Amino acid sequence: MGKQLGTLIGLLVTASASPLAISVPSTFTRRDVLSPLPESASSLELEFQPLLDFDMDGCYNTAAIDPSARINPGQGPTASPQGRCRDRGQLENSNVYSRSRCNNGYCAIMYEYYFEKYQSLGLSFLAGHRHDCENVVVFVKDGEVVQVALACHGEYEESPVRAWLEFMEYKRTIPLKDNHPMLVYHKDGVRMHCLRLVYQKDVKDPENQFKRFHRAPLVGWQNWPSEELRRKMLDGWKGQVGPKLDTEFSRTLEIATGGTLPDFDPYGDDEY
């Protein structure tokens, strides 16, 4: 099955109905967490933003930077994998960061999620690190989701395993709620935390404190309060842990296609 770390799963999506409502809490419980940026993104990026649940043994995504340009200091990988990073206030004060590219009839929308730590084992700083970003790319054609690419812990495999893809396509679909793919942030056994596709049991019984799938306020690439604030967020984390929205954007889109979308140009100019 190839490398265990960084397995990219690209799937053709079949929509299915879901009774769940999109949740963006209107009342925030203020505590010692960063305040989020106000939502501001394109209609395209908002329409296809994933909805998330979070298994009990993992952190919530939260704000990476606040309106005053304070970078999230993160949490050290101590205590339990979800320790000090799964408080209601962190989810209430969350953001997601996006960027899109459209050409040749396709749009690719990248969504980045910031987590205050990554930790696979309890009571051990050796199995984790401060700060983590996880990445989803949603591909759209003619107003419909045609593929969703999930990166695991910031790494990708360039060639998805065909047999695995065929099995997954046969066995599972991605439930959509009004064009929003539904995903779960989970812990893969004793290994890493990743975003994964939902199962029906996930849809019926969300594990986050709101008990419904969550959509955090979205901040689009062209809609930041200022370029300086965006640059400070991007420069806050370098390398593997950081978001792929800037210099790594085109290359990441290329890998995320999995070779299944030959008409889409990940390096091409936007066409509207």
Q: What is the pLDDT of residues 37-89, one digit of tens each?
A: 999 999 999 999 999 999 877 889 999 999 999 999 877 666 655 546 688 88
Query: Looking at the predicted structure, is the pLDDT value of residue 230 above 90?
Result: yes
- Looking at residue 203, what is its pLDDT? 86
pLDDT at 42: 98
How many whole angstroms separate alpha carbon 215 and alpha carbon 30? 19
Region of residue 10 (left: phi > 0; alpha: psi -120 to 50; beta: else): beta
Regarding beta strands 218-220 and 96-103, do their DSSP bridges make them parallel or antiparallel, or are they unpaired? parallel
| Of 212, 183, 217, residue with least CA distance to 24 | 217
Residue 4 belongs to some domain of the structure: no
Give the CB-side neighbour count of residue 137, counting CA atoms within 13 A: 32
Which of 9-23, 25-39, 137-151 is most confident? 137-151
Report the number of distinct structural domains present in the chain.
Answer: 1
Q: CA 53 to CA 23: how far, in whole Å?
A: 11
Does residue 228 lie in a domain region?
yes
H or E element, residue 181: strand 180-187
For residues 135 and 110, the answer to whether their CB atoms sit within 8 Å is: yes
pLDDT at residue 171 is higher than 80 = no
Give CA–CA dist 49/54, Å, rounded.
16
pLDDT mean over 24-48: 78
Residue 264 belongs to some domain of the structure: no
User: Is residue 24 over pLDDT 70?
Assistant: no
Question: How crowded is residue 40: how many other Cβ atoms within 10 Å of its Cβ?
Answer: 14
Q: What is the pLDDT of residue 95?
A: 98
Q: Which residue range is the domain that position 99 belongs to? A: 9-22+34-257
Inside any domain, residue 27: no
pTM: 0.80
Per-residue pLDDT reduced to its tens digit, 186-196? 776 556 777 88
Instruction: Pick the range with the lowest mean pLDDT from 115-129, 138-152, 224-238, 255-269.
Output: 115-129
